[in-house]
Structure 1
Amino acid sequence: MVTGKGGTGKTTVAAAMALSLADQGKRVLLVEVEGRQGLAQLFDVPPLPYVERRIAVGPAGGEVFGLAVDAEAALLEYLDMYYHLGRAGKALDKVGAVDFVTTIAPGLRDVLLTGKVYEATRRKAHGRLAYDAVVLDAPPTGRIGPFLNVNHEVAGLAKVGPIRNQADAIMGMLRSDVTRVHLVTLLEEMPVQETLDAVEQLEALDLRIGSIVVNMVRRSPLDDEMLALAVKEKLPAAELTRGLKAAGITATKEMVGTLAAEARDHAVRVGLERENRDRIDALGKKVTELGLLPDGIDHGALFDLAEELRP
């Protein structure tokens, strides 16, 4: 499961993780549950329906299948699977009953969404599991605790019965040895704080943390000595002038001053990023860094990120 504050690139990281597994020859299901069709945009395919569709093939022959889980469709499937209400369920959908139920009972919505993931991890084909791994592009860190703690969410809806049984089974999967929650962050104050809060919340729910993925990392071209000088606005003007001339730029006093100011802003940002990295390291979790891709994300970039994520 992959979560992170909005804007940190969690969907991209989830996709890269799925490709990394496919690169090892595995058959992988990549699931999204937020209704944004982010996976379709990333892989440049038509919007994903409520059916598993192959969206990528790894160099080693592994495959990535995509699935966009919709709560209403999941409820209809659930009614048909456990109560054989195929046509009746569709009739309920037509009159808006399905949307009404999932709206007034948000805990049930999360049970249905995670329930589809649970079913995919247990399904068999030709005598073996249908998928070697399932990667979930989960909701953001601000909602990840309630989303994954479906047993608590459903307690007020059903004390016993099939819905409660399913919620208990889902919690068993989420807390199992083969399940991990990976958190994506940037080296900025708000994403890091949400990551710290989410780790505390998830561990309180007995959910296992996998790794902290620090995304869009930028490498400074300045060494520590130069950064220290830049912060104090003491970079030698002569050095800046020589550097500009070496680049074929006519160096004016105004230009040198502007460059020194930009260097100071850069050095301050690097210092803040290092402080935030120290906060992440203090968690004692595995940390993986992914570099910033200035040209954006395309198929080639996804495979590059997948290579960086390989163990």
Structure 2
Amino acid sequence: MANATPLHVVTGKGGTGKTTVAAALATALADAGQRVLLCEVEGRQGIAQLFDVPPLPYEERKVGVGLGGGEVYALAIDPEAALLEYLQMYYRLGRAGKALDRFGIIDFATTIAPGVRDVLLTGKVYEAARRRNGDRFTYDAVVMDAPPTGRIARFLNVNEEVAGLARVGPVRRQASSIMAMMRSRSTHVHLVTVLEEMPVQETLDGIDGLRDTTLPVGHVIVNLVQPSLLSDDTRDAFRSGALGTKQVASALKSVALEADAARALIDQGSAHVERQALQDAQREMLSQTDRPVIELPTLPDAIDQGALFELAGFLRDDLLQRGEVA
């Protein structure tokens, strides 16, 4: 029997597809036959949109199945609802807690004390990851769609966040328990990026920040990778100038096509070569870390459940090769 439910925290700079990758990872684990809980903590309802279901309430709901027979459940964690649940759990306030909510005190508490807000958000994940049905955990894995890379170390380091707010008592004890989970071997903080300068640099800074707070760094997941459409010879010809408008126009004429398209084709080809060079340079920077890197391709169509299955396939195959999925 496992000693702990694996927790996969997914972070990334805005625009890198962090939520999509988190959903694809949950689907990949479900493809391997696991029962997975996918949580979001930013109130954007991104999970509901990806799985094409109504907005998620503050309760766990089944949103998908994996090809291997597993299931994906989802939970949108609301800090105000989590605080009411916390007050009932630790202080048995019941109706008194709901009265506080009517007077706006709950909203005030979660807004004025962001450290407590993070304890509540991560605390719900902690509870779900530790929950048992009989002699086994309720979920085989928990995936958290977490805040962006620039805030992730502070968000996960909840013990430090509440140090000045609660030195003793249930809040402090819960924060300490959460930190024990966050720093355990069963937790993996994955960083999502794209092969562009700013996201890659933020990813490298994020890795340093996580290590500075002794939080476990998992995979670097490179999303939206553009495949090379040109052969090495064609690319070299573009770079050297050996392939220009005259050569392309001549080739077009030889197959009875309009030579006027040559300039546009050259411009597109040059832009593609430059894009590939940028990707290669950023890929080289990521290779300097000691973390495994997984690349996910740019898909031609909008992200729907079919696309999630496709991305999950890439993740599952890589994780299986590394022995990280049963």
TM-score range, shorter chain: over 0.9
Residue 177 (structure 2) aligned to one of 146, 169, 181: 169
Distance verdict in 2 for CA 1:149–1:228, change over 3 Å:
same
Distance verdict in 2 for CA 1:245–1:78, change over 3 Å:
farther
Match of 2:232 in 1: 224
Q: State how far apart, in whole Å, the 2-side matches of 1:250 and 1:109 are.
A: 63
Matched, 1:200 2:205: no
Matched, 1:23 2:44: no
Alpha-carbon RMSD: 1.5
Question: How far is 1:162 from its partner?
Answer: 0.9
Question: How far is 1:248 from its partner?
Answer: 6.5
Matched, 1:191 2:230: no
Match of 2:264 in 1: 258
Could you say what secondary structure the match of 1:166 adopts? helix
Matched, 1:288 2:294: yes
195-204 vs 241-250, greater mean Cα deviation: 241-250
Match of 2:283 in 1: 277
Could you say what secondary structure the match of 2:56 adopts? coil
Matched, 1:90 2:98: yes
1:198-224 Cα distance to aligned partner (Å, 9 max, x none): 000001111111111110111111133
Q: State how far apart, in whole Å, the 2-side matches of 1:163 and 1:60 are.
A: 40
Question: How far is 1:67 from its partner?
Answer: 0.1
Question: How far is 1:127 from its partner?
Answer: 2.9
Q: Is the 8 A contact 1:22 1:60 kept in 2?
A: yes
Question: How far is 1:233 from its partner?
Answer: 3.8
Question: How far is 1:296 from its partner?
Answer: 1.6
Could you say what secondary structure the match of 2:167 adopts? coil
For normalisation by structure 2, the TM-score amounts to: 0.91
Match of 2:41 in 1: 33
Matched, 1:267 2:256: no
Could you say what secondary structure the match of 1:146 adopts? helix
For normalisation by structure 1, the TM-score amounts to: 0.95
290-299 vs 236-245, greater mean Cα deviation: 236-245
Equivalent residue pairs, number: 309
Unaligned runs of 5+ residues in structure 2 are: 1-8, 320-326
Q: State how far apart, in whole Å, the 2-side matches of 1:155 and 1:274 are.
A: 43
1:166-195 Cα distance to aligned partner (Å, 9 max, x none): 001000000101100011100011110110
Matched, 1:73 2:81: yes
Could you say what secondary structure the match of 2:294 adopts? strand
Q: Is the 8 A contact 1:233 1:261 kept in 2?
A: no
Question: How far is 1:231 from its partner?
Answer: 3.3
Unaligned runs of 5+ residues in structure 1 are: none
